[in-house]
Amino acid sequence: MHQGVAIVPESFARMTRADVRFIRIDEPTGKVAVAAMYRRDWDNPALRRLLAIARDWLRVNQARPALPSGPG
């Protein structure tokens, strides 16, 4: 049997699996670092949009931007 831990959105708890247990975190006390790695020469519209969303989220949540101001 494989074992592990993952932090997932609350909506995932609606998926029913006998071998998975969902535990709600009511008051998160930690922070998670998020990073994005991509090729600078990859001019992909979906990548540009993803990076824009990530930067907006970081601004709104007052986190330090970890993403370089590359494409997007």
Q: Which tens digits make up the pLDDT trace of 14-39?
A: 888 888 888 888 876 777 777 788 88
Task: Say how many C-beta atoms besides its own lie within 10 A of residue 54's C-beta.
Answer: 17
Domain ranges in the chain?
10-60
Tell which wins on pLDDT, 67 or 15. 15
Q: What is the pTM of this model?
A: 0.44
Q: 3-state SS string over the chain?
A: CCCCCCCCCHHHHHCCCCCCCCCCCCCCCCCCCCCCCCCCCCCCHHHHHHHHHHHHHHHHCCCCCCCCCCCC
Structure tokens given for 28: 């998160």
